[in-house]
């Protein structure tokens, strides 16, 4: 670790061996790492804390993207299926409308999450950097303060690269989840004969929303699944009804 830090920080007076030894000693006393003298290893508590920081700073777990993808894909599938059913569209017309609608929603989610995520993360980084710089102003030793500011600058350079990569992954996750959640019930409706296609396609949507989405939200938010189920059903129902009402006026 020391050799790697020396290589990365070559030419920059940002980290000294003394500072690293002090930091490692503090982490050992806090139970975050175990130091045998030659090797350093994260403890279970240290690994857990590292994952939490990664989720906070780098958005390693795409909770919003998965939830948005499942919701958007399911709503799109319901709107397409019910619209084709009520309007009595032929198979070819329904397939064209379904592919166009679902592709538009998936591509829109990709671009929205990519651009929105980059903008939001940059704004958060600027705020965090301002807070850290303000905290470092309390250091009276000018040399130590300059060294700390240099370290913060390089830290945010690394964060910039990681966040850009995580935003791309998040956008791909959202668009892919949207497409998969929507294409399965739509294909079922288009390929199977009636009334089997209607029953199975609606059953797939109900399974995605009532099982996968509700369970995922309940586990991540630590809220009882009954509360999550009620919230999800109400939101999806309102979105579908409003979409059908708006579409019926044109």
The count of structural domains within the chain is 2
Question: By three-state DSSP, how is residue 40 classified?
Answer: strand
pLDDT at 107: 92
Q: Note whether 156 and 36 are same-domain residues.
A: no
Distance CA 76, CA 172 (A): 18
Q: For every one of its 250 residues, what pLDDT tens digit does the chain have, with 9 covering 90 and above?
A: 666 666 555 555 556 667 677 777 888 888 888 877 677 788 888 888 887 777 766 666 678 888 989 999 999 998 888 888 887 777 788 888 888 888 999 999 999 888 888 787 778 777 777 777 777 777 777 777 777 767 777 777 767 777 778 888 888 999 999 999 999 999 999 888 888 988 999 999 999 888 888 888 888 888 888 888 888 888 888 988 887 787 665 4
Hunting for tokens 């002090």 — which residue is that?
22
First to last CA, the chain: 65
Q: Which of 120, 136, 146 is nearest to 57 (CA)?
A: 120
Helix (H) or strand (E) holding 35: strand 33-35
Residue 21 belongs to domain spanning:
1-52
Q: Note whether 97 and 48 are same-domain residues.
A: no
**Residue ranges of the alpha helices (H) in the chain?**
2-8, 17-29, 44-58, 63-87, 91-136, 142-191, 196-207, 214-221, 225-248
Distance CA 135, CA 152 (A): 11
* Residue that is last in its domain, among 52, 72, 91: 52
Hunting for tokens 């948005």 — which residue is that?
68
Give the pTM: 0.69
Q: Note whether 149 and 233 are same-domain residues.
A: yes
CB–CB of 46/32 below 8 Å?
yes
CB–CB of 57/170 below 8 Å?
no
Q: Note whether 78 and 48 are same-domain residues.
A: no
CB–CB of 125/159 below 8 Å?
yes
Q: Note whether 40 and 146 are same-domain residues.
A: no
Q: Note whether 134 and 236 are same-domain residues.
A: yes
Distance CA 158, CA 13 (A): 17
CB–CB of 83/247 below 8 Å?
yes
pLDDT at 10: 54
Q: Note whether 112 and 198 are same-domain residues.
A: yes
Q: Examine residue 195 and say whether the peptide bond preceding it is cis (omega within 30 degrees of 0).
A: yes
Which tokens go with 67? Answer: 């939830």
Q: Note whether 94 and 182 are same-domain residues.
A: yes
Q: Note whether 48 and 65 are same-domain residues.
A: no
Per this entry, what is the length of the chain? 250
Hunting for tokens 């690293």 — which residue is that?
20
């Amino acid at each position: 670790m020391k050799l790697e830090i020396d290589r990365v920080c070559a030419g920059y007076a940002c980290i000294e061996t003394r500072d690293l030894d002090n930091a490692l000693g503090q982490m050992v006393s806090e139970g975050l790492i175990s130091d045998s003298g030659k090797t350093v290893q994260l403890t279970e508590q240290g690994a857990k804390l590292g994952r939490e920081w990664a989720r906070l700073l780098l958005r390693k777990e795409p909770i919003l993207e998965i939830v948005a993808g499942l919701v958007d894909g399911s709503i799109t599938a319901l709107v397409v299926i019910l619209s084709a059913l009520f309007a009595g569209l032929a198979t070819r017309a329904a397939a064209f409308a379904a592919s166009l609608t679902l592709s538009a929603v998936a591509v829109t989610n990709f671009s929205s999450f990519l651009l929105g995520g980059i903008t939001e993360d940059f704004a958060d980084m600027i705020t965090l950097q301002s807070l850290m710089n303000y905290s470092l102003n309390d250091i009276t030793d000018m040399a130590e303060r300059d060294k700390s500011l240099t370290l913060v600058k390089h830290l945010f350079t690394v964060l910039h690269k990681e966040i850009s990569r995580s935003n791309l992954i998040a956008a791909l996750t959202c668009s892919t989840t949207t497409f998969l959640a929507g294409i399965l019930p739509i294909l079922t409706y288009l390929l199977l004969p009636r009334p089997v296609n209607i029953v199975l396609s609606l059953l797939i949507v109900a399974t995605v929303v009532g099982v996968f989405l509700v369970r995922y939200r309940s586990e991540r938010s630590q809220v009882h699944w009954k509360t999550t189920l009620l919230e999800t059903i109400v939101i999806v129902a309102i979105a579908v009804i409003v979409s059908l009402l708006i579409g019926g006026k044109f």
